[in-house]
Amino acid sequence: MATDKEHIIASIDGSAGSLAVCEAGAWVAARLERSLLLLHTLERRQQHGADDWSGQIGLGAQSELLERMAQLDQERGKLALQYGKTLLAEAEQRVKDRGLQQVQTLLRHGDFVEALAELEAQARLMVVGKVGTEHAGEFTALGSHIETLIRQVTTSVLITGAHFTAPESFMLAYDGRDTAERSLERIIQGGLLAGLPCHLVMVGKQDEKQLAKFEAAGQRLEQEGYAVSPCLLEGDITDALLNYQKQHQIGLLIMGAFSHSKVRHLFLGSNTIRMIQSCQAPLIVLR
């Protein structure tokens, strides 16, 4: 059983994608035999009005109105707290109804990225959600901070859309770089994807060295028991990967995280974020 890194942490915010986050978290927790920690954060905007009106009204009415506004803020805070407790209770029951019994809940005040960063020492993997069904790339309040989260933590992050279905196959986007090699090792050592067919995909023109690494990666996965379908693609990285995923109905995409280097931020960061925004299937960003 798990000791360190014992939890799968699923962060829910009550948006349309929260159910998918719960289901994804339960799937991961069951596969890895870890407990699931359901997290909801009460951010300041949920507890207080967005504007500060002090000093904007006449002195005669200021005291009375500010007192009334303070009462409204207090009531808003109470409602947000009750909403958070109800949300977590319902999420916990839904997950348990699906057969997962090792479930905990946590209600925190503050920014959800900061909360996850503080809990990272306990996390084997983090699950967060986004919404992009009506408007491509439109994040919820939770999803808008995904890039910040990935840059702050070293734990892998699973990102879901509005729905989650347990994947029957996965695709590893491989380019022969160090991040791809680390992703390969994480897949083999992690155990989450054991038994699932793997589509090993590389995009763009490759030299002999890259092709040799690609072939070696496929062989390594096969040696570990994976059924591997290798494929070399051409064209725009994001478009090629997404088209391949849809064509083969792949249930889960795996990518290495972008570099923290400021020099490489624009190139690597843009590719990763484009995939997160555009991909309708669940995606794991490995760290």
Cα torsion 43, 161, 34, 189: sign: negative
Q: What is the pLDDT of residues 154-208, one digit of tens each?
A: 899 999 988 899 999 999 999 888 888 888 998 999 899 999 999 999 998 788 8
Q: What is the mean pLDDT of residues 77-92?
A: 90
**What are the boundaries of each domain within the chain?**
7-46+80-160, 170-286
Q: What single letter denotes the amino acid at residue 93?
A: Q
For residue 76, what pLDDT is reported? 81
Phi and psi angles of residue 259, each rounded to the nearest 5 degrees, phi first: -70, 150
Q: What is the pLDDT of residues 222-265, one digit of tens each?
A: 999 999 999 999 998 889 999 999 999 999 999 887 544 443 33
Evaluate if residue 118 carries a pLDDT over 70: yes
Q: How many CA atoms lie within 13 A of 10 on its CB side?
A: 30
Q: What single letter denotes the amino acid at residue 103?
A: V
Residue 277 banded pLDDT, cuts 50, 70, 90? confident
For residue 43, what pLDDT is reported? 74
Class of domain 170-286: alpha beta
Query: In terms of pLDDT, which residue wins out, 50 or 13?
Result: 13
Which string of DSSP letters, residue by residue, matches 9-45? EEE--SSTTHHHHHHHHHHHHHHHT-EEEEEEEE-HH
Say how many C-beta atoms besides its own lie within 10 A of residue 227's C-beta. 12
What kind of fold does domain 7-46+80-160 have according to CATH?
Answer: Rossmann fold (3.40.50)
Query: In terms of pLDDT, which residue wins out, 136 or 228?
Result: 228
Q: Do domains 7-46+80-160 and 170-286 have the same CATH topology?
A: yes
For residue 33, what pLDDT is reported? 93
pTM of the predicted structure, to 2 decimals = 0.83
User: How far is C-alpha 213 from the chain's CA centre?
Assistant: 28
Residue 115 banded pLDDT, cuts 50, 70, 90? very high
